[in-house]
Structure 1
Amino acid sequence: MSEERVLTGAELEELAEKKLARGPLFYETESDHQEAMGDFYTVVAEAYKNSKQWKESGDAYCKASDWYKKSDPSDPSDPSDPSLEAGAYLKAAVSYRKCSTPYDHIHVVKILIMMSVSMENYSKAADLQKDIALVYETELDDLSTALSCYETAAEFYTTEDSPATTRGCLAKAGSIAAMLQLYESAIENFEKAAQESLMSFVTSTSFQLHCFSTGLCYLALGVIARVRTSIGRYSCVDVCFGTTREMRFLNDMMDALDAGDAEQYTTVVMEYTDKFKLDHWKTSILLEIKNGMRDEDGLM
Protein backbone atom coordinates (compact mmCIF):
# COMPACT_ATOMS: atom_id res chain seq x y z
CA MET A 1 0.00 0.00 0.00
CA SER A 2 1.42 3.39 -0.97
CA GLU A 3 2.01 5.90 1.78
CA GLU A 4 -0.54 8.71 1.87
CA ARG A 5 0.90 11.95 0.55
CA VAL A 6 1.16 14.83 3.02
CA LEU A 7 -0.52 17.98 1.77
CA THR A 8 1.62 21.06 1.35
CA GLY A 9 0.92 24.34 3.06
CA ALA A 10 -0.37 25.84 -0.17
CA GLU A 11 -2.75 22.90 -0.73
CA LEU A 12 -4.04 23.12 2.83
CA GLU A 13 -4.52 26.87 2.48
CA GLU A 14 -6.61 26.25 -0.64
CA LEU A 15 -8.77 23.85 1.37
CA ALA A 16 -9.10 26.48 4.07
CA GLU A 17 -10.42 28.97 1.52
CA LYS A 18 -12.98 26.39 0.36
CA LYS A 19 -14.07 25.74 3.96
CA LEU A 20 -14.44 29.49 4.42
CA ALA A 21 -16.58 29.76 1.30
CA ARG A 22 -18.97 27.12 2.68
CA GLY A 23 -19.52 29.21 5.79
CA PRO A 24 -20.78 27.94 9.17
CA LEU A 25 -23.29 25.54 7.61
CA PHE A 26 -22.04 22.44 9.44
CA TYR A 27 -21.39 24.10 12.83
CA GLU A 28 -23.76 24.60 15.72
CA THR A 29 -22.71 28.20 16.29
CA GLU A 30 -20.82 30.94 14.48
CA SER A 31 -18.22 30.84 17.25
CA ASP A 32 -17.61 27.13 16.67
CA HIS A 33 -17.04 27.84 12.97
CA GLN A 34 -14.63 30.67 13.72
CA GLU A 35 -12.59 28.58 16.15
CA ALA A 36 -12.50 25.70 13.67
CA MET A 37 -11.18 28.06 11.00
CA GLY A 38 -8.52 29.20 13.45
CA ASP A 39 -7.55 25.58 14.06
CA PHE A 40 -7.40 24.88 10.32
CA TYR A 41 -5.19 27.88 9.58
CA THR A 42 -2.93 26.73 12.42
CA VAL A 43 -2.53 23.43 10.56
CA VAL A 44 -1.77 25.41 7.39
CA ALA A 45 0.86 27.43 9.26
CA GLU A 46 2.47 24.29 10.68
CA ALA A 47 2.71 22.79 7.19
CA TYR A 48 4.43 25.91 5.89
CA LYS A 49 6.73 25.91 8.91
CA ASN A 50 7.72 22.27 8.35
CA SER A 51 8.84 23.18 4.83
CA LYS A 52 10.65 26.28 6.17
CA GLN A 53 8.38 28.69 4.30
CA TRP A 54 8.61 31.18 7.13
CA LYS A 55 6.80 34.16 5.58
CA GLU A 56 3.83 31.99 4.54
CA SER A 57 3.86 30.33 7.97
CA GLY A 58 3.71 33.69 9.72
CA ASP A 59 0.89 34.89 7.47
CA ALA A 60 -1.15 31.74 8.16
CA TYR A 61 -0.63 32.04 11.92
CA CYS A 62 -1.91 35.62 11.70
CA LYS A 63 -5.03 34.42 9.87
CA ALA A 64 -5.51 31.80 12.58
CA SER A 65 -5.19 34.49 15.22
CA ASP A 66 -7.78 36.67 13.47
CA TRP A 67 -10.27 33.78 13.52
CA TYR A 68 -9.53 32.98 17.17
CA LYS A 69 -10.12 36.63 18.03
CA LYS A 70 -13.58 36.43 16.46
CA SER A 71 -14.42 33.24 18.38
CA ASP A 72 -13.17 34.68 21.71
CA PRO A 73 -12.30 31.28 23.21
CA SER A 74 -10.70 32.43 26.45
CA ASP A 75 -11.18 34.86 29.29
CA PRO A 76 -9.05 37.96 28.47
CA SER A 77 -9.23 39.09 32.10
CA ASP A 78 -7.23 36.04 33.21
CA PRO A 79 -3.50 36.63 32.51
CA SER A 80 -2.71 33.01 33.44
CA ASP A 81 -4.93 31.78 30.56
CA PRO A 82 -3.41 33.11 27.33
CA SER A 83 -5.89 33.02 24.48
CA LEU A 84 -5.49 31.01 21.32
CA GLU A 85 -5.24 34.37 19.59
CA ALA A 86 -2.11 35.31 21.52
CA GLY A 87 -0.58 31.88 21.02
CA ALA A 88 -1.00 32.11 17.25
CA TYR A 89 0.45 35.63 17.15
CA LEU A 90 3.45 34.46 19.17
CA LYS A 91 4.11 31.65 16.68
CA ALA A 92 3.71 34.13 13.82
CA ALA A 93 6.36 36.34 15.39
CA VAL A 94 8.75 33.39 15.61
CA SER A 95 8.20 32.53 11.93
CA TYR A 96 8.65 36.12 10.78
CA ARG A 97 11.84 36.38 12.82
CA LYS A 98 13.36 33.57 10.76
CA CYS A 99 12.95 35.32 7.44
CA SER A 100 13.73 38.77 6.08
CA THR A 101 10.49 40.37 7.18
CA PRO A 102 11.40 42.46 10.25
CA TYR A 103 8.43 44.80 9.86
CA ASP A 104 5.99 41.88 9.87
CA HIS A 105 7.69 40.61 13.02
CA ILE A 106 7.49 44.03 14.65
CA HIS A 107 3.81 44.44 13.72
CA VAL A 108 2.87 41.14 15.35
CA VAL A 109 5.00 41.76 18.44
CA LYS A 110 3.36 45.17 18.94
CA ILE A 111 -0.03 43.45 18.97
CA LEU A 112 1.28 41.01 21.59
CA ILE A 113 2.60 43.92 23.66
CA MET A 114 -0.83 45.57 23.67
CA MET A 115 -2.42 42.28 24.69
CA SER A 116 0.11 41.79 27.49
CA VAL A 117 -0.44 45.33 28.79
CA SER A 118 -4.23 44.86 28.71
CA MET A 119 -3.74 41.78 30.92
CA GLU A 120 -1.28 43.72 33.13
CA ASN A 121 1.49 41.26 32.26
CA TYR A 122 4.16 43.93 32.15
CA SER A 123 7.06 41.50 32.39
CA LYS A 124 5.97 39.86 29.12
CA ALA A 125 5.34 43.26 27.55
CA ALA A 126 8.85 44.34 28.55
CA ASP A 127 10.46 41.22 27.06
CA LEU A 128 8.59 41.79 23.79
CA GLN A 129 9.44 45.51 23.75
CA LYS A 130 13.12 44.67 24.21
CA ASP A 131 12.83 42.17 21.35
CA ILE A 132 11.68 44.78 18.84
CA ALA A 133 14.23 47.28 20.20
CA LEU A 134 16.94 44.81 19.21
CA VAL A 135 15.42 44.43 15.72
CA TYR A 136 15.37 48.21 15.21
CA GLU A 137 18.93 48.49 16.50
CA THR A 138 20.66 45.59 14.73
CA GLU A 139 18.58 44.87 11.62
CA LEU A 140 16.96 48.15 10.63
CA ASP A 141 19.67 50.51 11.93
CA ASP A 142 16.92 52.75 13.31
CA LEU A 143 18.62 53.89 16.49
CA SER A 144 16.05 56.58 17.34
CA THR A 145 13.22 54.05 17.45
CA ALA A 146 15.42 51.51 19.23
CA LEU A 147 16.13 54.14 21.91
CA SER A 148 12.43 54.73 22.46
CA CYS A 149 11.74 50.97 22.62
CA TYR A 150 14.46 50.35 25.22
CA GLU A 151 13.11 53.21 27.35
CA THR A 152 9.60 51.78 27.16
CA ALA A 153 10.89 48.30 28.05
CA ALA A 154 12.63 49.81 31.09
CA GLU A 155 9.34 51.39 32.20
CA PHE A 156 7.58 48.03 31.93
CA TYR A 157 10.32 46.28 33.91
CA THR A 158 10.14 49.00 36.57
CA THR A 159 6.42 48.28 36.95
CA GLU A 160 7.32 44.63 37.59
CA ASP A 161 10.03 45.66 40.11
CA SER A 162 12.86 44.07 38.10
CA PRO A 163 15.90 46.28 38.81
CA ALA A 164 18.46 44.17 36.93
CA THR A 165 16.54 44.07 33.65
CA THR A 166 15.45 47.68 34.10
CA ARG A 167 19.09 48.67 34.51
CA GLY A 168 20.10 46.77 31.40
CA CYS A 169 17.52 48.52 29.23
CA LEU A 170 18.35 51.95 30.66
CA ALA A 171 22.06 51.42 30.03
CA LYS A 172 21.31 50.34 26.47
CA ALA A 173 19.13 53.40 25.96
CA GLY A 174 21.88 55.59 27.37
CA SER A 175 24.52 54.21 25.03
CA ILE A 176 22.27 54.62 21.99
CA ALA A 177 21.37 58.18 23.00
CA ALA A 178 25.08 58.95 23.32
CA MET A 179 25.74 57.53 19.84
CA LEU A 180 23.01 59.85 18.54
CA GLN A 181 24.68 62.72 20.44
CA LEU A 182 21.53 63.14 22.54
CA TYR A 183 23.66 63.64 25.60
CA GLU A 184 21.00 64.98 27.97
CA SER A 185 18.85 61.92 27.22
CA ALA A 186 21.89 59.68 27.70
CA ILE A 187 22.65 61.29 31.06
CA GLU A 188 19.08 60.81 32.23
CA ASN A 189 19.12 57.11 31.30
CA PHE A 190 22.55 56.42 32.78
CA GLU A 191 21.63 58.14 36.05
CA LYS A 192 18.44 56.10 36.26
CA ALA A 193 20.52 52.96 35.61
CA ALA A 194 22.89 53.99 38.40
CA GLN A 195 19.93 54.43 40.74
CA GLU A 196 18.62 50.97 39.82
CA SER A 197 22.08 49.56 40.60
CA LEU A 198 21.65 50.67 44.19
CA MET A 199 18.53 48.49 44.43
CA SER A 200 20.37 45.24 43.64
CA PHE A 201 23.22 43.27 45.15
CA VAL A 202 25.52 44.16 42.23
CA THR A 203 25.85 47.68 43.55
CA SER A 204 29.38 49.01 43.42
CA THR A 205 30.86 48.13 40.02
CA SER A 206 27.63 48.67 38.09
CA PHE A 207 26.93 51.98 39.82
CA GLN A 208 30.46 53.23 39.14
CA LEU A 209 30.34 52.32 35.43
CA HIS A 210 27.03 54.12 34.92
CA CYS A 211 28.37 57.18 36.73
CA PHE A 212 31.47 57.10 34.51
CA SER A 213 29.22 56.99 31.42
CA THR A 214 27.30 59.98 32.74
CA GLY A 215 30.54 61.89 33.27
CA LEU A 216 31.61 61.27 29.66
CA CYS A 217 28.30 62.65 28.41
CA TYR A 218 28.69 65.77 30.54
CA LEU A 219 32.17 66.29 29.08
CA ALA A 220 30.76 65.93 25.57
CA LEU A 221 28.33 68.73 26.42
CA GLY A 222 31.30 70.86 27.50
CA VAL A 223 29.97 71.45 31.02
CA ILE A 224 32.86 70.53 33.28
CA ALA A 225 31.20 72.17 36.28
CA ARG A 226 28.29 69.71 36.01
CA VAL A 227 30.78 66.83 35.91
CA ARG A 228 32.35 67.97 39.16
CA THR A 229 28.94 68.43 40.79
CA SER A 230 27.87 64.97 39.68
CA ILE A 231 31.07 63.39 40.91
CA GLY A 232 30.41 64.92 44.30
CA ARG A 233 26.93 63.39 44.37
CA TYR A 234 28.18 59.98 43.25
CA SER A 235 30.96 59.98 45.86
CA CYS A 236 28.40 60.65 48.59
CA VAL A 237 26.47 57.55 47.50
CA ASP A 238 29.54 55.35 46.95
CA VAL A 239 32.64 56.50 48.81
CA CYS A 240 34.76 54.16 46.70
CA PHE A 241 33.88 55.96 43.47
CA GLY A 242 36.49 58.65 44.10
CA THR A 243 39.29 56.06 44.07
CA THR A 244 38.32 54.21 40.88
CA ARG A 245 40.35 54.29 37.67
CA GLU A 246 37.28 55.75 35.91
CA MET A 247 37.22 58.64 38.36
CA ARG A 248 40.94 59.27 37.87
CA PHE A 249 40.43 59.21 34.10
CA LEU A 250 37.62 61.77 34.33
CA ASN A 251 39.76 64.02 36.53
CA ASP A 252 42.75 63.79 34.17
CA MET A 253 40.56 64.67 31.19
CA MET A 254 39.02 67.62 33.04
CA ASP A 255 42.50 68.93 33.93
CA ALA A 256 43.44 68.83 30.25
CA LEU A 257 40.19 70.48 29.20
CA ASP A 258 40.53 73.19 31.84
CA ALA A 259 44.04 73.90 30.57
CA GLY A 260 42.90 73.82 26.95
CA ASP A 261 45.77 71.41 26.33
CA ALA A 262 44.82 69.14 23.43
CA GLU A 263 48.12 67.26 23.53
CA GLN A 264 47.69 66.48 27.22
CA TYR A 265 44.11 65.31 26.56
CA THR A 266 45.28 62.97 23.76
CA THR A 267 47.98 61.51 26.00
CA VAL A 268 45.53 60.90 28.85
CA VAL A 269 43.08 59.15 26.54
CA MET A 270 45.73 57.00 24.87
CA GLU A 271 47.18 55.89 28.19
CA TYR A 272 43.75 54.81 29.40
CA THR A 273 42.56 53.12 26.21
CA ASP A 274 45.85 51.23 25.86
CA LYS A 275 45.08 49.51 29.16
CA PHE A 276 41.30 49.25 29.14
CA LYS A 277 38.97 48.37 26.28
CA LEU A 278 36.06 50.76 25.80
CA ASP A 279 32.69 50.33 24.11
CA HIS A 280 32.38 51.80 20.63
CA TRP A 281 30.17 54.65 21.81
CA LYS A 282 32.68 55.61 24.52
CA THR A 283 35.48 55.72 21.97
CA SER A 284 33.30 57.91 19.74
CA ILE A 285 32.44 60.29 22.56
CA LEU A 286 36.12 60.72 23.48
CA LEU A 287 36.77 61.75 19.87
CA GLU A 288 33.78 64.10 20.04
CA ILE A 289 35.25 65.78 23.13
CA LYS A 290 38.58 66.13 21.31
CA ASN A 291 36.85 67.67 18.29
CA GLY A 292 35.15 70.13 20.63
CA MET A 293 38.54 71.33 21.82
CA ARG A 294 39.67 71.80 18.21
CA ASP A 295 36.55 73.76 17.33
CA GLU A 296 36.96 76.08 20.31
CA ASP A 297 40.68 76.75 20.19
CA GLY A 298 42.03 75.58 16.84
CA LEU A 299 44.74 73.69 18.71
CA MET A 300 44.51 70.46 16.73
Structure 2
Amino acid sequence: MGDHLARGQDFESKAEKTLSGWGIFGSKYEEAADLFDKAANSYKLAKSWDQAGAVYVKLANCHLKLDSKHEAAGAYADAAHCYKKCNIKESASCLEQSVNLFLDIGRFNMAARYYKEIAELYEQEQNLEKATVYYEKAADLFQSEEVTTSANQCKQKVAQFAAQLEQYQKAVEIFEEIARYSLTNNLLKYGVKGHLLNAGICQLCKGDVVAITNALEKYQDLDPTFSGTRECKLLADLASAVDEEDITKFTSALKEFDSMTQLDAWKTTLLLRVKDHLKAKELEEDDLT
Protein backbone atom coordinates (compact mmCIF):
# COMPACT_ATOMS: atom_id res chain seq x y z
CA MET A 1 0.00 0.00 0.00
CA GLY A 2 2.83 2.37 0.92
CA ASP A 3 4.42 1.93 -2.53
CA HIS A 4 1.17 2.80 -4.28
CA LEU A 5 0.70 5.86 -2.07
CA ALA A 6 4.26 7.09 -2.75
CA ARG A 7 3.81 6.58 -6.51
CA GLY A 8 0.53 8.49 -6.40
CA GLN A 9 2.18 11.41 -4.60
CA ASP A 10 5.06 11.34 -7.09
CA PHE A 11 2.71 11.44 -10.12
CA GLU A 12 0.64 14.20 -8.51
CA SER A 13 3.72 16.27 -7.74
CA LYS A 14 4.98 15.92 -11.35
CA ALA A 15 1.55 16.93 -12.66
CA GLU A 16 1.53 20.07 -10.47
CA LYS A 17 5.03 21.00 -11.71
CA THR A 18 3.93 20.51 -15.30
CA LEU A 19 0.99 22.86 -14.77
CA SER A 20 3.17 25.56 -13.22
CA GLY A 21 5.63 25.44 -16.16
CA TRP A 22 5.33 26.67 -19.73
CA GLY A 23 3.44 24.70 -22.37
CA ILE A 24 2.52 25.12 -26.02
CA PHE A 25 -1.07 24.82 -27.28
CA GLY A 26 -2.42 23.18 -24.16
CA SER A 27 0.20 20.45 -24.22
CA LYS A 28 0.97 21.01 -20.51
CA TYR A 29 -2.68 20.28 -19.65
CA GLU A 30 -2.56 17.05 -21.68
CA GLU A 31 0.67 16.01 -19.97
CA ALA A 32 -0.66 16.94 -16.51
CA ALA A 33 -3.93 15.10 -17.21
CA ASP A 34 -2.00 11.92 -18.00
CA LEU A 35 0.00 12.27 -14.75
CA PHE A 36 -3.12 13.04 -12.64
CA ASP A 37 -4.79 9.95 -14.12
CA LYS A 38 -1.81 7.80 -13.09
CA ALA A 39 -1.79 9.43 -9.64
CA ALA A 40 -5.49 8.68 -9.16
CA ASN A 41 -5.01 5.03 -10.13
CA SER A 42 -2.12 4.71 -7.65
CA TYR A 43 -4.19 6.29 -4.86
CA LYS A 44 -7.04 3.89 -5.65
CA LEU A 45 -4.65 0.93 -5.37
CA ALA A 46 -3.53 2.36 -2.01
CA LYS A 47 -7.25 2.66 -1.06
CA SER A 48 -6.64 6.34 -0.30
CA TRP A 49 -10.07 7.33 -1.60
CA ASP A 50 -10.05 11.00 -0.54
CA GLN A 51 -6.73 11.61 -2.33
CA ALA A 52 -7.94 9.75 -5.42
CA GLY A 53 -11.14 11.84 -5.44
CA ALA A 54 -9.21 15.11 -5.10
CA VAL A 55 -6.87 14.17 -7.97
CA TYR A 56 -9.78 13.25 -10.24
CA VAL A 57 -11.16 16.77 -9.63
CA LYS A 58 -7.77 18.16 -10.75
CA LEU A 59 -7.95 15.88 -13.79
CA ALA A 60 -11.45 17.24 -14.58
CA ASN A 61 -10.05 20.80 -14.45
CA CYS A 62 -7.33 19.85 -16.95
CA HIS A 63 -9.96 18.45 -19.33
CA LEU A 64 -11.97 21.66 -18.97
CA LYS A 65 -8.88 23.72 -19.91
CA LEU A 66 -8.67 21.53 -23.03
CA ASP A 67 -12.42 22.09 -23.63
CA SER A 68 -13.08 18.34 -23.33
CA LYS A 69 -16.35 18.49 -21.43
CA HIS A 70 -17.16 14.80 -21.90
CA GLU A 71 -13.82 13.73 -20.38
CA ALA A 72 -14.21 16.30 -17.57
CA ALA A 73 -17.69 14.92 -16.77
CA GLY A 74 -16.22 11.41 -16.62
CA ALA A 75 -13.43 12.56 -14.30
CA TYR A 76 -15.94 14.22 -11.93
CA ALA A 77 -17.91 10.96 -11.90
CA ASP A 78 -14.72 9.03 -11.10
CA ALA A 79 -14.04 11.50 -8.28
CA ALA A 80 -17.57 10.96 -6.97
CA HIS A 81 -17.15 7.19 -6.95
CA CYS A 82 -13.96 7.52 -4.88
CA TYR A 83 -15.53 10.01 -2.46
CA LYS A 84 -18.54 7.70 -2.12
CA LYS A 85 -16.34 5.50 0.07
CA CYS A 86 -15.35 8.28 2.47
CA ASN A 87 -17.26 11.56 1.95
CA ILE A 88 -20.90 11.46 0.80
CA LYS A 89 -21.21 15.27 0.61
CA GLU A 90 -18.20 15.55 -1.76
CA SER A 91 -19.47 12.59 -3.77
CA ALA A 92 -22.83 14.29 -4.37
CA SER A 93 -21.09 17.57 -5.23
CA CYS A 94 -18.85 15.90 -7.86
CA LEU A 95 -21.80 14.02 -9.38
CA GLU A 96 -23.65 17.36 -9.66
CA GLN A 97 -20.65 18.82 -11.57
CA SER A 98 -20.69 15.79 -13.84
CA VAL A 99 -24.43 16.14 -14.48
CA ASN A 100 -24.09 19.84 -15.38
CA LEU A 101 -21.43 19.02 -17.97
CA PHE A 102 -23.43 16.14 -19.45
CA LEU A 103 -26.46 18.47 -19.69
CA ASP A 104 -24.26 21.04 -21.48
CA ILE A 105 -23.27 18.54 -24.16
CA GLY A 106 -26.74 17.00 -24.51
CA ARG A 107 -25.96 13.64 -22.89
CA PHE A 108 -29.29 13.54 -21.02
CA ASN A 109 -29.27 9.80 -20.41
CA MET A 110 -25.93 10.03 -18.56
CA ALA A 111 -27.17 13.10 -16.65
CA ALA A 112 -30.29 11.16 -15.60
CA ARG A 113 -28.19 8.21 -14.40
CA TYR A 114 -26.04 10.47 -12.22
CA TYR A 115 -29.06 12.38 -10.85
CA LYS A 116 -30.37 8.96 -9.79
CA GLU A 117 -27.00 8.22 -8.15
CA ILE A 118 -27.17 11.50 -6.19
CA ALA A 119 -30.69 10.57 -5.09
CA GLU A 120 -29.41 7.17 -3.90
CA LEU A 121 -26.67 8.86 -1.87
CA TYR A 122 -29.22 11.06 -0.08
CA GLU A 123 -31.52 8.06 0.40
CA GLN A 124 -28.60 6.22 2.02
CA GLU A 125 -28.24 9.21 4.36
CA GLN A 126 -31.99 9.10 5.10
CA ASN A 127 -32.37 12.63 3.69
CA LEU A 128 -35.72 11.94 2.02
CA GLU A 129 -36.39 15.56 1.00
CA LYS A 130 -33.16 15.84 -1.00
CA ALA A 131 -33.46 12.29 -2.33
CA THR A 132 -36.95 13.19 -3.63
CA VAL A 133 -35.64 16.28 -5.45
CA TYR A 134 -33.00 14.26 -7.33
CA TYR A 135 -35.24 11.27 -8.08
CA GLU A 136 -37.70 13.76 -9.62
CA LYS A 137 -34.93 15.32 -11.75
CA ALA A 138 -33.80 11.85 -12.85
CA ALA A 139 -37.37 10.81 -13.68
CA ASP A 140 -37.92 13.93 -15.84
CA LEU A 141 -34.73 13.33 -17.82
CA PHE A 142 -35.36 9.59 -18.24
CA GLN A 143 -38.88 10.46 -19.44
CA SER A 144 -37.52 12.98 -21.95
CA GLU A 145 -35.22 10.26 -23.31
CA GLU A 146 -38.13 7.78 -23.34
CA VAL A 147 -36.41 5.45 -20.89
CA THR A 148 -39.79 4.91 -19.27
CA THR A 149 -38.90 1.94 -17.06
CA SER A 150 -36.13 3.92 -15.34
CA ALA A 151 -38.40 6.98 -15.14
CA ASN A 152 -41.08 4.92 -13.40
CA GLN A 153 -38.56 3.40 -10.96
CA CYS A 154 -37.56 6.93 -9.94
CA LYS A 155 -41.19 8.08 -9.75
CA GLN A 156 -41.97 5.13 -7.50
CA LYS A 157 -39.25 6.29 -5.09
CA VAL A 158 -40.70 9.82 -5.16
CA ALA A 159 -44.16 8.45 -4.33
CA GLN A 160 -42.82 6.28 -1.49
CA PHE A 161 -40.91 9.19 0.06
CA ALA A 162 -43.85 11.57 -0.43
CA ALA A 163 -46.02 9.18 1.59
CA GLN A 164 -43.36 8.85 4.29
CA LEU A 165 -43.29 12.67 4.45
CA GLU A 166 -47.12 12.67 4.74
CA GLN A 167 -47.62 14.15 1.25
CA TYR A 168 -50.29 11.54 0.58
CA GLN A 169 -52.10 13.16 -2.36
CA LYS A 170 -48.84 13.54 -4.28
CA ALA A 171 -48.06 9.85 -3.62
CA VAL A 172 -51.54 8.75 -4.73
CA GLU A 173 -51.27 10.63 -8.04
CA ILE A 174 -47.86 9.15 -8.87
CA PHE A 175 -48.83 5.55 -8.02
CA GLU A 176 -52.00 5.91 -10.13
CA GLU A 177 -49.97 7.33 -13.04
CA ILE A 178 -47.51 4.40 -12.88
CA ALA A 179 -50.42 1.92 -12.74
CA ARG A 180 -52.01 3.50 -15.84
CA TYR A 181 -48.74 3.29 -17.76
CA SER A 182 -48.12 -0.31 -16.63
CA LEU A 183 -51.49 -1.35 -18.04
CA THR A 184 -50.26 -0.38 -21.52
CA ASN A 185 -47.15 -2.57 -21.25
CA ASN A 186 -47.48 -6.36 -21.27
CA LEU A 187 -44.27 -6.82 -19.29
CA LEU A 188 -45.46 -4.48 -16.52
CA LYS A 189 -49.12 -5.50 -16.25
CA TYR A 190 -48.37 -7.92 -13.40
CA GLY A 191 -47.29 -4.96 -11.22
CA VAL A 192 -50.50 -2.94 -11.59
CA LYS A 193 -52.26 -4.42 -8.54
CA GLY A 194 -49.21 -3.52 -6.40
CA HIS A 195 -49.24 0.11 -7.57
CA LEU A 196 -52.99 0.38 -6.96
CA LEU A 197 -52.55 -1.15 -3.49
CA ASN A 198 -49.89 1.47 -2.71
CA ALA A 199 -52.17 4.25 -3.95
CA GLY A 200 -55.02 2.86 -1.87
CA ILE A 201 -52.89 2.71 1.28
CA CYS A 202 -52.00 6.39 0.77
CA GLN A 203 -55.73 7.12 0.39
CA LEU A 204 -56.32 5.36 3.75
CA CYS A 205 -53.64 7.57 5.34
CA LYS A 206 -55.60 10.64 4.24
CA GLY A 207 -58.49 9.32 6.36
CA ASP A 208 -61.23 10.32 3.91
CA VAL A 209 -63.56 7.28 3.70
CA VAL A 210 -65.52 8.70 0.73
CA ALA A 211 -62.27 9.27 -1.21
CA ILE A 212 -61.14 5.69 -0.45
CA THR A 213 -64.46 4.22 -1.68
CA ASN A 214 -64.36 6.37 -4.84
CA ALA A 215 -60.73 5.37 -5.44
CA LEU A 216 -61.60 1.65 -5.20
CA GLU A 217 -64.34 2.11 -7.81
CA LYS A 218 -61.92 4.04 -10.04
CA TYR A 219 -59.25 1.33 -9.73
CA GLN A 220 -61.71 -1.40 -10.71
CA ASP A 221 -62.73 0.64 -13.77
CA LEU A 222 -59.09 1.23 -14.63
CA ASP A 223 -58.21 -2.46 -14.39
CA PRO A 224 -61.23 -4.81 -14.51
CA THR A 225 -59.05 -7.69 -13.21
CA PHE A 226 -58.28 -5.72 -10.00
CA SER A 227 -61.64 -6.51 -8.37
CA GLY A 228 -60.72 -10.21 -8.15
CA THR A 229 -57.37 -9.63 -6.44
CA ARG A 230 -56.39 -10.03 -2.80
CA GLU A 231 -55.06 -6.46 -2.94
CA CYS A 232 -58.51 -5.13 -3.81
CA LYS A 233 -60.14 -7.22 -1.05
CA LEU A 234 -57.59 -5.92 1.47
CA LEU A 235 -58.29 -2.28 0.56
CA ALA A 236 -62.07 -2.85 0.69
CA ASP A 237 -61.80 -4.57 4.10
CA LEU A 238 -59.52 -1.83 5.49
CA ALA A 239 -61.78 0.93 4.14
CA SER A 240 -64.77 -0.74 5.77
CA ALA A 241 -62.87 -1.06 9.09
CA VAL A 242 -61.87 2.63 8.96
CA ASP A 243 -65.47 3.59 8.19
CA GLU A 244 -66.74 1.53 11.14
CA GLU A 245 -63.79 2.60 13.32
CA ASP A 246 -63.20 -1.10 14.04
CA ILE A 247 -59.57 -1.80 15.00
CA THR A 248 -60.14 -5.57 15.39
CA LYS A 249 -61.52 -5.80 11.84
CA PHE A 250 -58.61 -3.68 10.56
CA THR A 251 -56.01 -5.90 12.26
CA SER A 252 -57.56 -9.21 11.16
CA ALA A 253 -57.73 -8.00 7.50
CA LEU A 254 -54.01 -7.20 7.65
CA LYS A 255 -53.15 -10.54 9.29
CA GLU A 256 -55.08 -12.47 6.66
CA PHE A 257 -53.28 -10.69 3.79
CA ASP A 258 -49.87 -10.86 5.49
CA SER A 259 -50.14 -14.63 6.02
CA MET A 260 -50.10 -15.08 2.21
CA THR A 261 -48.12 -12.04 1.03
CA GLN A 262 -45.78 -10.43 3.53
CA LEU A 263 -46.26 -6.69 3.81
CA ASP A 264 -43.02 -4.74 3.28
CA ALA A 265 -41.67 -2.18 5.76
CA TRP A 266 -43.04 0.81 3.80
CA LYS A 267 -46.62 -0.54 3.73
CA THR A 268 -46.39 -1.62 7.38
CA THR A 269 -45.25 1.87 8.45
CA LEU A 270 -48.16 3.58 6.67
CA LEU A 271 -50.76 1.07 7.81
CA LEU A 272 -49.56 1.52 11.40
CA ARG A 273 -50.27 5.24 11.01
CA VAL A 274 -53.83 4.43 9.96
CA LYS A 275 -54.23 2.00 12.87
CA ASP A 276 -52.83 4.55 15.36
CA HIS A 277 -55.30 7.12 14.04
CA LEU A 278 -58.14 4.63 14.60
CA LYS A 279 -56.89 3.98 18.15
CA ALA A 280 -56.76 7.71 18.87
CA LYS A 281 -60.36 8.11 17.67
CA GLU A 282 -61.42 5.20 19.85
CA LEU A 283 -59.77 6.79 22.88
CA GLU A 284 -61.43 10.12 22.15
CA GLU A 285 -64.84 8.43 22.06
CA ASP A 286 -64.09 6.57 25.31
CA ASP A 287 -63.26 9.91 26.94
CA LEU A 288 -66.58 11.34 25.79
CA THR A 289 -68.68 8.47 27.19
Common fold by TM > 0.5: yes
Cα deviation code 1:174-202 (max 9, x no counterpart): 11222222212211221222233134222
How far 1:260 sits from its partner (Å)?
1.6
How far 1:84 sits from its partner (Å)?
2.3
Which residue pairs with 1:133 in the alignment? 119
CA distance in 1, matches of 2:110, 2:229: 37
Runs of 4+ in 1 over 6 A off after TM superposition: none
How far 1:295 sits from its partner (Å)?
2.1
CA RMSD across the alignment: 1.9
Structure with the bigger percentage of helix: 2
Q: Which of the residues 238, 241, 255 maps onto 2:223?
A: 238
CA distance in 1, matches of 2:39, 2:169: 50
Residue 89 of structure 2 is aligned to residue 112 of structure 1: no
Q: Which of the residues 50, 64, 70 maps onto 2:65?
A: 70
Relative to structure 1, the CA distance from residue 220 to residue 114 in structure 2 (aligned partners, 3 Å threshold; closer, same or farther) is: same
TM-score (norm 1): 0.87
TM-score (norm 2): 0.90
How far 1:151 sits from its partner (Å)?
1.7
CA distance in 2, matches of 1:174, 1:181: 10
How far 1:263 sits from its partner (Å)?
1.7
Q: Which 10-residue stretch deviates more, 158-167 or 176-185? A: 176-185
Which residue pairs with 1:79 in the alignment? none
Cα deviation code 1:61-116 (max 9, x no counterpart): 110111110121x4x6xxxxxx321232222122222x221111111111111122
Which residue pairs with 1:142 in the alignment? 127
Residue 23 of structure 2 is aligned to residue 32 of structure 1: no
Query: Is the 8 Å Cα contact of residues 163 and 197 (structure 1) preserved in structure 2?
Result: no
Which residue pairs with 2:78 in the alignment? 91
* Mapping 1:51-70, distance limit 5 Å: 51-70=46-65
Structure 1 unaligned residues grouped into runs of 5+: 77-82
Structure 2 unaligned residues grouped into runs of 5+: none
CA distance in 2, matches of 1:60, 1:153: 27
CA distance in 1, matches of 2:36, 2:251: 63
Query: Is the 8 Å Cα contact of residues 18 and 28 (structure 2) preserved in structure 1?
Result: no
Aligned pairs, number: 282
Relative to structure 1, the CA distance from residue 19 to residue 122 in structure 2 (aligned partners, 3 Å threshold; closer, same or farther) is: closer
